[in-house]
Amino acid sequence: MTDPRVLDADRRPLTEKERRLIRAKIGSLTARGRRASAASLPTAGGAILVLWLLTSLASDTAWYIITAFWLIVGAGIALWVRRDMRKHGGQLEQIARGLESALRRNAADVYAVRARSFAELEEIEDEGACYAFELDGNRLVFITGQGFYKSARFPSLDFSLVNLLDEAGQTVDTLIEKRGTRAAPARRISAEIKRKLNVPEHLEVRTGTVDSLEDSLGLASSHDL
């Protein structure tokens, strides 16, 4: 059963433009992953060399003692850097494999948003952008996440979110299909006020309007926020 609190989606095959974008992203992620793994030892070696040089210039200790010290400590640093960068590279390659699966699945869930106006809720820490778009029928849909920061044509009052599905039916990435020009928010909600609200999850729908946002989320409305 479809959750009535989540915006309805239409499922369709990927467009050729979307397939090109996905292939380009796979190439970029794969290349970055390989570079991260390959750069681990040179990065660590360069850092250790700089530290050895600075120590040699600042200390009266014999050079061979300083060298022995940094060979021992540097080995530990090199292992740590290599493990960290290989992990990062593996994460990038995992994302690329998810996108490859999305190409094979060839399906996307599309959430169309055609809004009257919207409110911008200030980001708290690093949770990402947060907007409440007012739809027809006295409804608000919430768009949240780090993939939705402002750009040349977003946020707007007319766009779609295209969720790319892998072969297991899971969302592996989201594209923004931009139709309208960038718009200004009708209201801005401060982080201080936002902390007092029960802000819905991404794509959840609530009854209400931008003007009555606080009422909908559990706080008395005030246009001075």
Note whether 112 and 207 are same-domain residues: yes
Mean pLDDT of all residues belonging to the chain: 86
What SS3 state is found at 189?
strand
Does residue 38 register a pLDDT over 90?
no
Span 51-77, mean pLDDT? Answer: 79
- Could you tell me the strand order of the sheet in which 117-121 lies? 187-189, 117-121, 129-135, 139-145, 205-207
Domain that holds residue 173: 108-217
Angle of CA points 206, 207, 209, to nearest 5°: 105
Note whether 130 and 76 are same-domain residues: no
What whole-number distance in Å separates Cα of residue 191 and Cα of residue 216? 17
Q: How confident is the model at residue 47 (pLDDT cuts 50, 70, 90)?
A: confident
Note whether 149 and 54 are same-domain residues: no
Note whether 100 and 116 are same-domain residues: no
Residue with tokens 């946002």: 213
Look at residues 48, 81, 105 and tell me which one is the last residue of a structural domain.
105
Q: How confident is the model at residue 222 (pLDDT cuts 50, 70, 90)?
A: very low
**Structurally, how many domains does the chain consist of?**
2
Does residue 84 register a pLDDT over 80?
no
Does residue 42 register a pLDDT over 90?
no
Going from the C-alpha of 136 to that of each of 116, 133, 140, 210, 218, the distances in angstroms are 7, 10, 9, 12, 21
